[in-house]
Chains A and B, each alone.
Chain A
Amino acid sequence: MEGRGRKPDELTGRLDTELRPCQEIVHNIVNRSVDAILIVDRKGRIRFANPAAADLFSRAAGELVGQNFGFPVSGGERTEIEVLCKNLLPTVAEMRVADTEWEGERAWLATLRDVTERKHLEERLKAALETSEETLAEIDSIIRSISEGLIVTDGGGHIRLINHALEIMLGASCREVAGLPVDSLFTDTQVREKIHDSLQEGETARFDFELKTDGRSQPVRTISARTSPVLDPRQHRIGMVTILQDVTREREIERMKSEFVSFAAHELRSPLTAIIGFAEMLLLGENLNPEEKRSYAEIIKRQGMFLADIVSTFLDLSLIESGRGIVLKKRPCTVEELFGLLDTVLLAQADPHRFQVVSEDRSVLLNIDLQRIKQVLGNLVGNAVKYSPAGSSVRVEGAAEGDWYRISVRDQGIGMTPQQVEKVFDKFYRADSSSTSPAGIGLGMSIVKSIVELHGGRMSIQSSPGGGTTVSFFLPIGVAQEARPA
């Protein structure tokens, strides 16, 4: 460089003084930049590299200069390149390129920023999003699969979603009802009010209501509803979730159980009254003749046996309920022997009925627990007597039918509706559950069925209201058979 009218030394000195601070600034910027700065000539050779570039490529800056850059470069672009360093951990760098000049030649100024960390974060975020989408889908399918009906409402009591079980329960579709007020799901005014009130209160609540449905054997179902608030992380209520469970069957069993308890009490107290009373009569009665004494003692014995039967029934039930089951003591015996037991069964009946006993194929051999089959007969005859008018006939008949021996007990009693027949083998069930029905604890038939099935047999009932009832059971003929009838 040459100045006008000034000495070269002076000029150089001035240049030094004026330019040095600028140079230092540039030097500082370039050397302290955290981004890598490279000058690459048009042949792709590195002409300059700052310390950050040396760090990025894990080489000394001097080593880089003169090397081929190895990545295609063109002006104005912004690309991501993957740099493999000496420690073999790939580094991702974002590269921006600008036109520049270097020592009089056109070149590229490339700045590279290490974005490895950012890329990792991005990938993790993407993965997290995918996971949360999966989680949402999973929650959605869980909600759909819940067997109880589910309603989710917003803070204003409008439906946000209902699940599949509820769609079936109410015959509604989630798409159609979304956004509607929740009480529009129900037609019954009282039910609407109950649902509406509990959601208004916004508290956890539990209540039962009756739901009228169509096309089922029991058109009125008992539904148990539980509502609870949906809270956001700040504990603000943003809606309500209501779970509806069909508890018709459970309530029915609860009702039967509570009736059972009251009948069991009655059934135990009646024989106790007779036993205690006649024992007192025997102890205190001064002018009793031998005949009276004898008849009182017989009543005490009969009622005692009756109590023993009830207690055995409870024991059998507890055996069946606990899963231990009744253990049969089977032995081969003839039909003749079995029917020989009927006399004691029939004599045990207090009410006057006309009994007819007809048995065929008396030499047929059965492998049975005689006492248990006697118990079955006692129960069936007892029911026939209980549910038919005094003086009417009760017929017990037996006959071989193919591989099976059938024993039927037929009465001329009040009979049962098909719905009643369906429930006969339910525990605690009594054909007429009103207090005006003949006493009975309602366990007999469920135990009878267990005993017959333990023998590999089966039961059948023919009955119609007013037309009497015939209960039959089938036992396999022969001593080695355990198969069930077809």
Chain B
Amino acid sequence: MKKILIVDDKADIRLLVEMVLKRDDRVILHVDSGDKAVILAGEQNPDLILMDIMMPGRLDGHETIRVLKSDPGTRDCPIIAMTADICGEAAEKALNLGADRFINKPFLISELAEMVENLLR
């Protein structure tokens, strides 16, 4: 069973991503903040994390990626950054901080499904 952790402050987006990725051989976890993501990733060792970048709270997406990628326990888990800015700065910053891929909102569900498939392979 592959574990996927979805991190997004917007419930509708969490539900959408969950519905897109849901399969019998996967466990989907989701949280609404960076802080919770750090705790859950430490406990659950997910195989993939989908990370929204613009989130309220102490840790936004970028900061959460920084924390996860500097922790030996979570640094090897691939991260897909979900960005929504215009000029791509958020994606570039996420990649520099260690994210493995990025996907820009709004995305097609096939695009997301394929990216996840490739990373879990």
Contact indicator B108/A280 (Cβ below 8 Å) = yes
* A373 on interface, CB distance cutoff 8 Å: no
Cβ contacts B1-20/A at 8 Å (1 or 0 each):
00000000111110110011
* A347 on interface, CB distance cutoff 8 Å: no
Contact indicator B11/A276 (Cβ below 8 Å) = no
A285 to B62, CA, bound (A): 33
A439 to B12, CA, bound (A): 15
Contact indicator B16/A265 (Cβ below 8 Å) = no
Q: How far is the CB of B35 from chain A (nearest CB, A)?
A: 11
Contact indicator B56/A262 (Cβ below 8 Å) = no
A369 to B115, CA, bound (A): 50
Which of A276, A303, A439 sits near B54, CB closer than 8 Å?
A439
A262 contact set on B, CB distance < 8 A: 85-86
Contact indicator B109/A272 (Cβ below 8 Å) = no
Stretch at the interface among A45-53, A90-98, A430-438: A430-438
A438 to B57, CA, bound (A): 8
* B47 on interface, CB distance cutoff 8 Å: no
Given A273-B13, A273-B16, A280-B109 contact (CB < 8 Å): yes
Which of B20, B59, B105 sits near A436, CB closer than 8 Å?
B59
Q: How far is the CB of A350 from chain B (nearest CB, A)?
A: 6
Contact indicator B107/A273 (Cβ below 8 Å) = yes
A435 contact set on B, CB distance < 8 A: 53-54, 60, 62
Contact indicator A274/B16 (Cβ below 8 Å) = yes
A302 to B16, CA, bound (A): 14
A294 to B120, CA, bound (A): 31
A302 to B12, CA, bound (A): 10
Which of B16, B54, B59 sits near A266, CB closer than 8 Å?
B54
Nearest A residue to B17, CB-CB: A277
Which of B19, B56, B105 sits near A437, CB closer than 8 Å?
B56
Contact indicator A273/B106 (Cβ below 8 Å) = yes
Nearest A residue to B82, CB-CB: A273
Cβ contacts A108-126/B at 8 Å (1 or 0 each):
0000000000000000000
* B84 on interface, CB distance cutoff 8 Å: yes
Cβ contacts B23-61/A at 8 Å (1 or 0 each):
000000000000000000000000000000111111110
B54 contact set on A, CB distance < 8 A: 266, 435, 439
Contact indicator B12/A299 (Cβ below 8 Å) = yes
A275 to B108, CA, bound (A): 11
A436 to B12, CA, bound (A): 19
Using a CB-CB cutoff of 8 Å, which residues 435-453 of chain A contact chain B?
435-439
A318 to B54, CA, bound (A): 27
* A269 on interface, CB distance cutoff 8 Å: yes
B60 contact set on A, CB distance < 8 A: 434-436
Between-chain CB contacts (< 8 Å), 18 pairs: A262-B85, A265-B85, A266-B84, A269-B84, A270-B10, A274-B16, A276-B106, A276-B107, A278-B16, A280-B108, A281-B19, A284-B109, A350-B12, A436-B56, A436-B63, A438-B56, A439-B9, A439-B56
A-B contact sample (8 more), CB < 8 A, given A270-B84, A437-B56? A266-B85, A276-B108, A277-B20, A280-B110, A281-B16, A302-B12, A436-B59, A436-B60
Sorted nearest first, the 8 A-B pairs with minimum C-beta distance are: A269-B84, A273-B106, A272-B106, A273-B105, A277-B16, A438-B56, A274-B12, A266-B84
